[in-house]
Structure 1
Amino acid sequence: MNTDAPIVTPASPIELITINELGPILLRSRSGVDKLRAKDPTFPKPLKDGTGRQARVYFVRAEVEAWLRAKLDARAE
């Protein structure tokens, strides 16, 4: 039995990281990450877990890595 249906594989899970986990990736303190977010409009947007001021903020690791890769590629040009 031959079917031409595409093979569906499960997507890789999205890995979320906190701002405290983001600092070591970018070699910056938490306040350094905050300054970078304010200064660079291309920095990945965070996901907020809730509506209050105390709600935890997450970043998608793949988006941060893609942003960093783009910065490194732009530097090489």
Structure 2
Amino acid sequence: MHPSTTQSSKGLIRQPALCQWLDVTRSGLAKLKAKDLTFPKPIKDGDARQAAAYYVVSEIEAWLQSKIADRDKHQTDSSEGTNQ
């Protein structure tokens, strides 16, 4: 699933929409961020803990592309090892 053209053209995406895009719950997103330190950091709309969190769509897309590239590299490495 990927963002609609309106989301990607905006440049920023709010956390609830990001969760929907990635098909994870809010706690699932928190676990993902804790586990993967390369996950893009949010931009907070204020200092309060409850302040809205926004993510830069291009950073999320770049992160996803790097994950896909890593996956594909590992699949290629694995298949080359079985051909020998």
The TM tier, using the shorter chain, reads 0.7 to 0.9
Deviation at 1:33, TM superposition (A): 0.7
Deviation at 1:14, TM superposition (A): 5.5
How many residues in Structure 1 have an aligned counterpart in Structure 2?
65
Match of residue 51, structure 2, among 55, 67, 73: 55
| TM-score normalised by length of structure 2 | 0.71
The unaligned stretches of length 5 or more in structure 2 are 1-8, 74-84
Higher helix share: 2
| TM-score normalised by length of structure 1 | 0.77
Q: Deviations over 1:23-66 (max 9, x none)?
A: 12212111111110111100001101101112111000110011
Give, in whole Å, the separation in 1 of the partners of 2:49 and 2:39: 21
Structure 1 or 2, whichever has the larger Rg, is: 1
The unaligned stretches of length 5 or more in structure 1 are 1-12
Q: Percent identity?
A: 49
